Amino acid sequence: MTALRHETPTQGLPGDRSPRDDGPPPHLPPQPDLVQLLTPEGERVQHPDYSIDLDDDELRALYRDMVLVRRWDAEATALQRQGELGLWASLLGQEAAQIGAGRALAEDDMAFPTYREHGVAWTRGVDPLHVMSLYRGVDNGGWNPVERGFNLYTVVIGAQCLHATGYAMGVQRDGAESAVLAFLGDGATSQGEVNEAMIFAASFTAPVVFFCQNNQYAISAPLERQSRVPLFQRASGFGFPGIRVDGNDVLAVLAVTRAALAAAREGQGPSFIEAFTYRMGAHTTSDDPSRYRMSGEVEEWKLRDPIARLKAYLSRGRLAGADFFESVEADADELAARIRRGTVEMPDPRPSDMFDVVYAEQTPHLAAQKAEFEAYEAGFEGADR
Our measurement of the distance from residue 310's CA atom to the centroid of its chain's CA atoms, rounded to an integer in Å, reads: 19
Catalytic annotation, residues: 279, 283, 292
Q: What is the pLDDT, as a whole number, of residue 220?
A: 81
**Which band of pLDDT confidence, cut at 50, 70 and 90, is reported for residue 21?**
very low
pLDDT at 10: 39
Burial (CB count <10 Å: 0-12, 13-18, 19+), residue 310 = buried
pLDDT of residue 32: 56
- The model carries a pTM of 0.88
| CA dist., res. 216 & res. 171, Å (int) | 33
Residue 15: CB atoms within 10 Å: 21
Predicted local confidence at residue 280, as pLDDT: 80
Residue 30: its pLDDT value, please?
Answer: 54
Q: What's the gap between Cα 215 and its chain centre? A: 11
In the prediction, which pLDDT does 16 show? Answer: 42
What mean pLDDT do residues 297-307 have? 88
* Model pLDDT for residues 39-77, shown as the tens digit of each residue: 999 999 999 999 999 999 999 999 999 999 999 999 999
The tens digit of pLDDT for each residue in 345-373 reads: 999 988 898 898 888 899 999 999 999 99
Q: How confident is the model over 230-256, as pLDDT tens digits? A: 889 999 999 999 999 999 999 999 999
Instruction: Find all residues with CB under 8 Å of 262, minimum gap 6, and list them.
Output: 2, 179
Structure confidence at residue 382 (pLDDT) = 66
Q: Which residues pair with 276 in a beta bridge?
A: 214, 246
- Nearest-CA neighbor of 123 among 99, 151, 149? 99
Sort 293 into a burial class: Cβ within 10 Å, 0-12 / 13-18 / 19+: middle
What does the pLDDT read at residue 241?
A: 95
Structure confidence at residue 8 (pLDDT): 44
